[in-house]
Structures are given as structure tokens and as C-alpha cells.
Amino acid sequence: MRVKSTLKIILDERGISIGKCAEMAGLKKETVRRMYNDTTMQYQRDTLGALCKALNVEISDILSLEDNEKSN
């Protein structure tokens, strides 16, 4: 199992850019870009909290568990 970021789906559905999301959440654009591209290696609690608040979603909406076989 691996943790997968679904931030790209949320932002694309809402028409929100990475830059706009970063601004809304008070985060660095690079931090949001890594989550958007699912290349983040560690998820910081403050980052997740800021994204959840800015986007009005739960952590389970931003992160999901995926079987390793699906990601290959």
C-alpha cells in the first residue's frame, strides 16, 4: 500500500491553479506543486490542515491508500 495525493483531482475539478491554491492556503507554491503531482515524500500536518481549511475538504479527500500494484 502507498499513500496517494488526490489534490490534482480536486483542483482540476474546481478549476483552481496550483498558485491560487497555494495563495488560498498560505503555502509555498512548490509545496502545493509536489502534492498536486503526487511527488511529496512526507506529508506535514500543518500543510494538510491548511489545504483542508482552504479547500473545505477532509484529509481523506486529499489522501488515499492505493495498492502498490495499481501504481506500477
pLDDT in tens, 47-71: 999 999 999 999 999 999 988 765 5
With a cut of 80, say whether residue 15 has pLDDT above it.
Answer: yes
Give the pLDDT of residue 68.
77
Give the global pTM: 0.87
**For the domain bounded by 2-71, which CATH number is listed?**
1.10.260.40
Report the SS3 class of residue 72: coil
Residue 49 in grid coordinates: 490542515
Give the pLDDT of residue 70.
57
Please check whether residue 52 is in contact with residue 22, taking contact to mean a CB–CB distance below 8 angstroms.
Answer: no
pLDDT band at 1 (very low <50, low <70, confident <90, very high): confident
With a cut of 90, say whether residue 19 has pLDDT above it.
Answer: yes
